Structure 1
């Protein structure tokens, strides 16, 4: 199985290398890893104690960020090292001032893992939600470096719980402790003989609560929205945008903010075709008489929810919906596509009546008709916000555990 894993890693690299000839994101993935070990060697101070935080991408970074920041506050003498797998995380957070160093994670080969762990020599490694890399986990275990999974989420359809998943199960046994989001995850791990598990929820809720209390004004967006009912669509993909385009003529008294998941020029141009009565945020002066505002940059979506009355979250017609918690935290109903079943908060708030899954344009129009009533929106928004507030606190539990165990070796 390890042979197949190593072969798969190399095939993946080759495919990304091919894609990099035409794809900007793939090119950034390749270019970012060039000379990464030279950078690590030249920048890291071997005399200091290091904590290694790894994130797959930007979403996982925001999810694990509360733990990172609390860890830094509790242990100010420990150097914080962040790695990302994806360019969408690295490029946005490479200058994040909460870390001493930010790098791309070298490809998971035995040689790379040995070299990385030797250079960094972390006192602790913390991975958020996903990302299980055999050689890195194996090298951490071999060096008796504690490894923690935070906001872990497990489902029966994952390889860990399949007949062919022996290598993946092996990885799980290299983890010092799992902090998981729900009881189902704990029960699944227990079925594999893993009892080093705590159910403490999702650390992203702590990030959302903090963001609500510290949200900053975006004057240009505030002025665009002033006096109107506002529909915000966050992390959208083309299929989401096509559906939403049908709403503008049916609901002319609403303003629409479109914040796509990808902001490359080609995608922005396609959105402009869907919404001819639109203006881009990057224009120095936004015409407030326009109905649609296109957010053509990354990193400000969490600040935009403060201006909205209703949110649509993209991704539900693809691999899965993006973050719904931020919108819910600002107290509004949320609509999304049919692929939401991997997300506990979505399932919970559908039952509570504050979230609305859709599959067709007619579904979307029907939900909009229902949510025209301001009293209904306020009532459902309060349910969503109360849910978010009730789920906060996972970060504190994790830090108390680490403080008590002082990282606890494997």
Structure 2
């Protein structure tokens, strides 16, 4: 959040006052200055974020470099894996599993930027992983974290580039690697002065393990040293979440709208209720704190809903026909995927870039997405090529596909099996990463 905020402000000032070219040193000075000038605004944003996402005081303190707890084992050599949020934790999961199973004496520190990332990490790995919230890119906060742990290596998942973190870690002789590396469209379209800052930060990275040849070229285009880049594939293909799924308490046939955003819940609920199906529609929003808001929106459409927590507490009976079940607890997606008749991936019918389709694919579920899967281009392309995914261009097409699939068990099973087999073809990705990281 911080680099984005600062760089946006630099960009605004630069458009107002700059000449055609800008020296990298000037950008660094402005960045350090704005970090301090915008401190009150940043602090307010962190407090609001803590409230919205149930982060609590630990989230606030650790984001500013305080309240760290040292590991109990092998504290002389700590491996730090940084994951921005849920998606990056999911990418790192195969490596974390290997570290916990094969190197139990290795002290492992995993950081996230968000409470949702922490909650997902905790649901996947209850023991053996020490978690902290990554400090903001203030030099003093980073130094407090690094002084609290004897960190030997920092593995940054996917796309996080923090100028002060990379600089200070490099000065302390911490080896920095970017794993499952990718760059967003916005990063690639950044102005030249910002690419200069990326280039400077990437010069401190020892290795970049990219997910595709295309991503390799992307990193080279913003100034990364081609000699440091190796293409190993997408680590998310190596994730096997079905191994950690538990049974849910729904107890009746259902389809699931996963990781949804506003207004997907209202639009898709309206379609589902109009179909008059006996199956239950289960909504698992991207942010579970939105559950009450979703219930209100559905109520405005005369659609009745029940919260999953009420089912667990037995304060409400299981939903009946024309009712919607809203998941208001974190960590339920895997169990939902394991038993769903069909999965609609949210964040794809709105401009959010979609969400992880590999998880339901690992359970051999039939998957439908909307048009915007821009954050998962490679995964979407692979599943479409292998006939393991249906991508709709709008809600009208979604309605047509639901009508065609919901009673066609053969078609659903074939779609799900194709998706699962597509994942199984990527057998060498994890061994390649383990070898590259010295874990095999």
Question: What is the TM-score with the length of structure 2 in the denominator?
Answer: 0.81
Match of 2:233 in 1: 201
Please say which of residues 79-88 and 284-293 is displaced more in the overlay: 284-293
2:204 is the counterpart of 1:174: yes
**Which digits, 9 at most, give the CA deviation of each residue in 1:59-111, with x for residues without a partner?**
21122121122123333222111221112223554685444521111111222
| Counterpart contact for 1:313–1:322, Cα < 8 Å | yes
**Which digits, 9 at most, give the CA deviation of each residue in 1:118-158, with x for residues without a partner?**
33231111111121111111122222221121111135652
Please say which of residues 130-139 and 105-114 is displaced more in the overlay: 105-114
Structure 2 unmatched runs, 5+: 1-26
Counterpart-to-counterpart distance in 1, 2:231 and 2:129? 30
* Matching of residues 192-341 of structure 1 within 5 Å: 192=223, 193-207=225-239, 209=240, 211-218=241-248, 220-221=249-250, 223-225=251-253, 230-245=254-269, 246-264=271-289, 265-270=291-296, 272-273=298-299, 276-283=303-310, 284-285=313-314, 286-287=317-318, 289-290=320-321, 291-316=323-348, 317-341=350-374
Counterpart-to-counterpart distance in 2, 1:337 and 1:16? 34
- Residues 1:213 and 1:177: Cα distance change in structure 2 (over 3 Å): same
Structure 1 unmatched runs, 5+: none
- Residues 1:337 and 1:6: Cα distance change in structure 2 (over 3 Å): farther
- Residues 1:159 and 1:356: Cα distance change in structure 2 (over 3 Å): same
Counterpart-to-counterpart distance in 1, 2:112 and 2:417? 35
Counterpart-to-counterpart distance in 2, 1:358 and 1:339? 9
Counterpart-to-counterpart distance in 1, 2:210 and 2:302? 41
Please say which of residues 309-318 and 85-94 is displaced more in the overlay: 85-94
More relative contact order, 1 or 2 (CA 8 Å, 6+ apart): 1
* Matching of residues 100-115 of structure 1 within 5 Å: 100-115=129-144
What is the Cα deviation at residue 38 of structure 1? 4.9
**Which digits, 9 at most, give the CA deviation of each residue in 1:275-305, with x for residues without a partner?**
7243221123342534432211110101211
| Counterpart contact for 1:173–1:194, Cα < 8 Å | no
Q: 1:68 aligns with which of 89, 96, 114?
A: 96
Counterpart-to-counterpart distance in 2, 1:61 and 1:301? 14
| Counterpart contact for 1:313–1:321, Cα < 8 Å | yes
Aligned length: 397
**Which digits, 9 at most, give the CA deviation of each residue in 1:216-260, with x for residues without a partner?**
222x12x132xxxx3211011122112211222214233211111
Match of 1:123 in 2: 152
| Counterpart contact for 1:235–1:315, Cα < 8 Å | yes
Q: Secondary structure of 1:217's match?
A: coil
Please say which of residues 295-304 and 274-283 is displaced more in the overlay: 274-283
What is the Cα deviation at residue 393 of structure 1? 4.1
Counterpart-to-counterpart distance in 1, 2:394 and 2:264? 10
- Residues 1:155 and 1:34: Cα distance change in structure 2 (over 3 Å): closer
Counterpart-to-counterpart distance in 2, 1:251 and 1:148? 52
- Residues 1:366 and 1:149: Cα distance change in structure 2 (over 3 Å): same
Match of 1:80 in 2: 108
Counterpart-to-counterpart distance in 1, 2:354 and 2:101? 32
- Residues 1:29 and 1:337: Cα distance change in structure 2 (over 3 Å): farther
Counterpart-to-counterpart distance in 1, 2:31 and 2:324? 47
- Residues 1:10 and 1:253: Cα distance change in structure 2 (over 3 Å): farther
- Residues 1:160 and 1:364: Cα distance change in structure 2 (over 3 Å): closer
| Superposition CA RMSD, Å | 2.9
Match of 1:383 in 2: 418
What is the Cα deviation at residue 167 of structure 1? 0.4
* Matching of residues 114-153 of structure 1 within 5 Å: 114-153=143-182
What is the Cα deviation at residue 30 of structure 1? 7.0
Q: Secondary structure of 2:288's match?
A: coil
What is the Cα deviation at residue 402 of structure 1? 2.2
What is the Cα deviation at residue 213 of structure 1? 3.7
Match of 1:345 in 2: 379
Counterpart-to-counterpart distance in 2, 1:167 and 1:206? 32
